[in-house]
Amino acid sequence: MTSNEQTTRETATGERADLLETLAKHRHFLRFTTRGLTDEQAGLRTTASELCLGGLIKHVTSVERGWADFILEGPSAMGDFTAMTEADWAKRTDEFRMLPGETLDGVLAAYAEVARRTDDLVATLPDLDAAWPLPKAPWFEADAQWSARRVLMHIMTETAQHAGHADIIRESLDGAKSMG
């Protein structure tokens, strides 16, 4: 945990403290899967999926950044997923892998920066009930709205889910486990 995460968590109370603590716990487990790895190892696919550890962290970083933008700006921050082209979708797949020139340290630093921003948002947002319509996407119910609270729970769920994926990838890489 960084000193900023600690300070933000110490000053928050009630529900906000709970949200920050849960985010910190799941972020820790995700980052922990990369302990002691080289850049090359962070980019290896070790299962039947296309996923690698560095790519998972890049994806979670992108997801968290996008949803934090949504809390502040609404659906325009995320765009219209129904209008995306094949090229747009292909570009999004790059966030699931380590690209040439990317480093694990760089990926982790970007994730830490996004986490700090989200933590500051949790601590200072005037109203967790403030809601926006969801962006257009085939996976969202039409005309649905999510509150900031719901978005933060989604970020936590996404992070926890991918921490589990990362644990499997790491165990397949060298037998290291996050727990147990």
Number of domains in the chain: 1
Q: Can you give the residue range of the structural domain that contains 122? A: 3-174
CATH code, domain with 82: 1.20.120.450
- Examine residue 180 and state whether it is found in any structural domain, yes or no: no
Percent of the chain whose pLDDT exceeds 70 = 94
Tell me if the pTM is above 0.95.
Answer: no
Percent of the chain whose pLDDT exceeds 90 = 74
H helix intervals, the chain: 3-11, 14-32, 39-42, 53-73, 86-93, 104-124, 148-174
Q: What is the pLDDT of residue 91?
A: 81
* SS3 assignment, position 28: helix
* SS3 assignment, position 132: strand
Q: What is the pLDDT of residue 94?
A: 87
Q: What is the pLDDT of residue 161?
A: 96
Q: What is the pLDDT of residue 178?
A: 85
pLDDT tens-place string over residues 14-72? 999 999 999 999 999 999 999 999 999 999 999 988 899 999 999 999 999 999 999 99
- Examine residue 179 and state whether it is found in any structural domain, yes or no: no
pLDDT tens-place string over residues 134-144? 998 888 898 89
- Examine residue 100 and state whether it is found in any structural domain, yes or no: yes
- Examine residue 161 and state whether it is found in any structural domain, yes or no: yes
- Examine residue 19 and state whether it is found in any structural domain, yes or no: yes
* 112 confidence band (pLDDT: 50, 70, 90): very high
Whole-number Cα distances in Å, 171 to 22, 41, 130 = 24, 12, 40
Q: What is the pLDDT of residue 3?
A: 53
- Examine residue 126 and state whether it is found in any structural domain, yes or no: yes
- Asked whether the beta carbons of 1 and 111 are under 8 A apart, the reply is no
83: enclosing H helix or E strand: none
